[in-house]
C-alpha cells in the first residue's frame, strides 16, 4: 500500500480505538496515553510487539489509571477519579486528539516515515513529557526495550493485503486483535442470536435455527437506529437479509454467506473469520468478498476505474467488522 493509504488507515484505526477508550471515562479529547492504549489492540507489528512485552490492554489501562492518580496525589489532590464505564463514543460521536497527540501522529508520517503503527509507536516513545516512559515502567518495561523488540520485528515486514477483483467477485482480507481468549470470541461469533453485537449492519435477528451447523440459516434485519439514537436510512429492499452458515470449525474458523431476498440482483456477501491464539487475546484473519450475480457482471473497463474505490470499501468494511468484534469485549 502507498504511504498515504497506510497513514490514513492507521489514523482511522488508532483514532477509533482512542476515542472508544476516552469515552469509557466520559472524555471527548484524546491524549498520548489514549494513543498508547489504542496501539495495544492494533494488529500491526507495533501492537504485536507491545503485547509480546505484556503491554496489553487491561494491564495498560490499570497502569494509566494509577499513573494519573499518583500525579494528582503529588499535587495534593486526593479526590477519587470516576471509575471507567462502557464505551459510549458511538452514541456521542465527538472526539479529537489534543495537540501533543496530534504532533505524534504528524511526526509519524513526516519525511520518509510511513505513518504506520510502528512509526506512531516510535514517535510516542520519543515524546518528551515522560508520561509514556512512566507508564511503561509500571508495566515492567522501558522505551529502549520496546525499541529493541520493534527493531527485530520490523526486519521481517508483513505483506499487506489488497482487495482483488476477478470479474466474478470483489474480495479482500485483513487482521484484527481481540482482547479476549479464543473460546470467548468463538462463543460470540458462533451464536447467530449474538450477530447484532458485532456486525454493525444488523440490528436484530429472527427465525433462528434449532441446530447451529453448516447449512443452517436465519434472518437478520438492518440496523434502523444508530447507537446515538438517530434513524438510519435503509433501502427497503435491503432491510431483510438471509444468513447461511457454510463453515464452522469450532474455535478455529467460521464462514457465512449473506443474501438479500427482496433484492435478487444484489451481490452476495461471503465472510470468513479465522481465529488464532495470540499474546493478550485472539488474532483474527477476516476475509470478505462480494460475489456478483450473473446479471450484474461489471465491464472490464469499469472494474479498472472503480478498483481504488473497491480497495477502500473492502478495507473499511473489514476494519469495521474487526473493530466491532473487539469492542464487544472491551
**Among 125, 153, 181, which residue terminates a domain?**
153
| 256: containing domain | 164-327
The more confidently predicted of residues 140 and 160 is: 140
**CATH code of residue 17:** 1.10.1780.10
pLDDT of residue 312: 75
The whole model's pTM is what? 0.86
Least confident segment among 94-103, 158-167, 248-257: 158-167
Report, as an integer, the average pLDDT of 148-170. Answer: 72
* Residues 107, 223 share a domain: no
pLDDT of residue 295: 58
**Among 153, 184, 210, which residue terminates a domain?**
153
* Residues 257, 208 share a domain: yes
pLDDT of residue 84: 86
* Tens-digit pLDDT profile for residues 8-34: 999 999 999 999 999 999 999 999 999
* Residues 108, 172 share a domain: no
Q: Per the structure block, which three cell numbers stand in for 57?
A: 490492554
Least confident segment among 28-32, 57-61, 143-147, 229-233: 229-233
* Tens-digit pLDDT profile for residues 280-327: 999 999 999 999 876 555 545 545 545 556 677 888 899 999 999 999
Tell me the CA distances in angstroms from 47 to 106, 120, 181, 261, 311, one per residue in order.
19, 11, 17, 41, 24
Q: Per the structure block, which three cell numbers stand in for 163?
A: 482487495
Report, as an integer, the average pLDDT of 28-45. Answer: 97
The residue behind cell 458511538 is 90
With a pLDDT cut of 70, the percent of the chain lying above it is 89
* Tens-digit pLDDT profile for residues 167-185: 667 889 999 999 999 999 9
**CATH code of residue 303:** 3.30.530.20
How many distinct structural domains can be found in the chain? Answer: 2
Least confident segment among 53-67, 230-244, 295-309: 295-309
Q: Is the pLDDT of residue 55 over 70?
A: yes
Q: Please give the Cα distance from 316 to 144 (Å, whole number).
A: 34
pLDDT of residue 51: 97
* Residues 238, 171 share a domain: yes
pLDDT of residue 315: 84
* Residues 236, 187 share a domain: yes
Tell me the CA distances in angstroms from 263 to 68, 218, 271, 291, one per residue in order.
53, 17, 19, 14
Where residue 158 falls among pLDDT bands split at 50, 70, 90?
low
HSE of 90 in the Cβ direction (CA atoms, 13 Å)? 13
pLDDT of residue 204: 96
Tell me the CA distances in angstroms from 249 to 39, 193, 279, one per residue in order.
30, 18, 22
CA angle (278, 322, 44) in 5-degree steps:
55
* Residues 319, 176 share a domain: yes
Q: Could you tell me if residue 108 is inside a domain? A: yes
HSE of 88 in the Cβ direction (CA atoms, 13 Å)? 11
Q: Could you tell me if residue 158 is inside a domain? A: no
Amino acid at each position: 500500500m502507498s504511504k498515504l493509504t497506510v497513514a490514513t488507515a492507521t489514523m482511522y484505526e488508532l483514532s477509533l480505538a482512542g476515542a472508544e477508550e476516552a469515552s469509557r471515562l466520559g472524555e471527548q479529547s484524546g491524549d498520548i496515553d489514549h494513543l498508547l492504549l489504542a496501539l495495544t489492540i492494533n494488529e500491526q507489528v507495533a501492537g504485536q510487539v507491545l503485547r509480546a512485552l505484556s503491554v496489553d490492554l487491561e494491564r495498560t489501562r490499570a497502569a494509566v489509571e494509577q499513573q494519573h492518580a499518583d500525579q494528582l496525589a503529588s499535587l495534593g489532590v486526593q479526590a477519587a477519579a470516576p471509575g471507567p464505564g462502557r464505551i459510549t463514543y458511538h452514541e456521542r460521536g465527538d472526539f479529537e486528539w489534543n495537540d501533543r497527540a496530534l504532533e505524534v501522529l504528524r511526526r509519524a508520517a513526516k519525511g520518509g516515515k510511513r505513518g504506520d503503527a510502528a512509526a506512531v509507536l516510535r514517535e510516542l516513545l520519543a515524546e518528551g513529557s515522560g508520561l509514556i516512559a512512566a507508564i511503561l515502567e509500571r508495566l515492567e518495561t522501558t522505551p529502549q526495550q520496546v525499541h529493541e523488540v520493534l527493531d527485530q520485528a520490523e526486519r521481517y515486514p508483513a505483506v499487506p493485503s489488497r482487495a482483488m477483483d476477478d470479474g466474478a467477485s470483489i474480495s479482500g482480507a485483513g487482521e484484527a486483535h481481540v482482547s479476549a481468549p479464543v473460546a470467548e470470541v468463538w462463543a460470540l461469533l458462533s451464536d447467530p442470536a449474538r450477530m447484532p453485537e458485532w456486525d454493525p449492519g444488523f440490528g436484530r435477528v429472527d427465525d433462528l435455527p434449532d441446530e447451529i451447523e453448516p447449512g443452517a440459516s436465519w434472518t437478520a434485519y438492518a440496523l434502523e437506529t444508530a447507537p446515538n439514537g438517530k434513524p438510519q436510512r435503509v433501502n427497503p429492499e435491503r432491510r431483510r437479509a438471509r444468513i447461511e452458515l457454510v463453515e464452522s470449525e469450532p474455535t478455529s474458523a467460521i464462514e457465512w454467506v449473506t443474501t438479500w431476498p427482496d433484492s435478487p440482483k444484489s451481490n452476495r456477501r461471503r465472510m470468513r473469520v479465522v481465529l488464532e491464539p495470540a499474546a493478550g487475546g485472539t488474532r483474527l484473519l477476516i476475509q470478505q468478498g462480494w460475489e456478483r450475480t450473473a446479471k450484474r457482471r461489471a465491464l472490464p473497463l469499469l472494474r479498472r476505474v472503480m478498483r481504488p474505490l473497491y480497495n477502500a470499501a473492502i478495507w473499511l468494511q473489514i476494519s469495521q467488522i474487526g473493530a466491532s468484534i473487539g469492542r464487544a469485549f472491551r
